[in-house]
Amino acid sequence: MEIRQLRRFLVLAEELHFGKAAARLHIAQPALSQELKALEKALGLRLVDRTHNHVALTDAGRRLQQEAVHIIQAHDAAAASMEELRNPPSGTLKLGVAVGVAYPLLAELLQDLGSGGLGPGDAAPEVDIKPAAAREGVQKLLEGEFDAVFIHAVPPVDERIGVLTLETEPMGVALPSGSPLAKLAAVSPVDLSGEALIWLQRDGDPDVRERVLGLLVDAGMVPGPHRWSPSIATTMSLVAAGLGVSFKTPHQVVPGDPPGVAWRPFAGVSLPMPTVLVWLRHGASPLTTQLVAHARRYVAKKT
């Protein structure tokens, strides 16, 4: 039983369709079928019941699906730790970071990056951070422009990339503190009808904007005029000035919102906003490997 077989089995277990699973894995469908047969032969168990138009996991398949997640996580953590010892990090780490990723999270993950391998003549590593939205960031990662990206969406399963959800916070609404809505414990989408909506710059993160706006409109909000801002800090200043409302998680501004801003959760709708680290599984730089190891420790500490 190989790790590669388990990774591919997990994709098949999620899709329950050989064609779709093979497309996500970027391999031919017959190759996926042969991989499954080899895995079943190695285990001596049938993992999948397959008919002409139906695929289902057997009891053994469901048990392996649960176990495989833990096996792969342990394997990846051990591999990252050994790689860090084998190749002390140095050089430049190129990161794509979505607008709104919490600064304390980045600071904690980047703290002491590369220090474990520094000798007397070694230079501290540099970190080059550029903005990146979800789909754009993953694409640039695959093209080699980034070593890793921090985004607000879990990308589709792709065996070329590693994915780790660092934290998830509720998206809510930032209001002028003098607004009648600020007196509410939670704000419904209908309450926001007609309010001017202040968004980060048009190229900031359209995936997040479309997700938030779509959910609120579906829940009854009639959008007011749109306004644009170059940063979260500027956005909050505009909100404090009474020029509109905006949307954010509780910790997207550091050290806190400016005076005149009230944050309230949504009422009647839920919009969890994940912060996700994505990196290339193969050919990752030592610095990237160390960053991933830091990230795994961060998640373990929080759970």
CATH of the domain at 159: 3.40.190.10
* CA distance to 58, 190, 210, per residue, from 214 (Å): 38, 13, 6
Range of the domain at 212: 172-270
Phi, psi of 140 (to 5 degrees): -70, -30
Please report the pLDDT score of residue 249 as a whole number.
84
**Do residues 8 and 131 share a domain?**
no
**Do residues 47 and 189 share a domain?**
no
Phi, psi of 249 (to 5 degrees): -90, 170
Domain stop point among 25, 55, 83: 83
**Do residues 97 and 50 share a domain?**
no
Please report the pLDDT score of residue 2 as a whole number.
85
Phi, psi of 100 (to 5 degrees): 95, -5
**Do residues 162 and 280 share a domain?**
yes
Please report the pLDDT score of residue 283 as a whole number.
83
Please report the pLDDT score of residue 229 as a whole number.
87
**Do residues 64 and 191 share a domain?**
no
**Do residues 221 and 257 share a domain?**
yes
Query: How many domains does the chain divide into?
Result: 3
**Do residues 220 and 261 share a domain?**
yes
**Do residues 33 and 50 share a domain?**
yes
Please report the pLDDT score of residue 118 as a whole number.
38
Question: Which of helix, strand or coil describes residue 164?
Answer: strand
Is the pTM above the cut of 0.85?
no
- Tell me the mean pLDDT per 10 residues along the chain, length 303: 87 87 88 89 89 85 87 79 60 84 82 55 69 84 92 85 91 93 95 92 71 92 91 86 90 63 92 92 86 89 76
**Do residues 285 and 298 share a domain?**
yes
**Amino acid letter, residue 47:** L
Domain stop point among 83, 116, 142: 83
Peptide bond into 255 cis (omega under 30): yes
**Do residues 179 and 258 share a domain?**
yes
Please report the pLDDT score of residue 254 as a whole number.
47
**Do residues 61 and 97 share a domain?**
no
Whichever domain contains 48, its CATH number is 1.10.10.10
Q: At what angle do helices 59-86 and 286-302 cross, to 10 degrees?
A: 120
**Do residues 76 and 126 share a domain?**
no
| pLDDT single digits (tens) 215-243 | 999 999 999 999 998 877 888 889 999 99
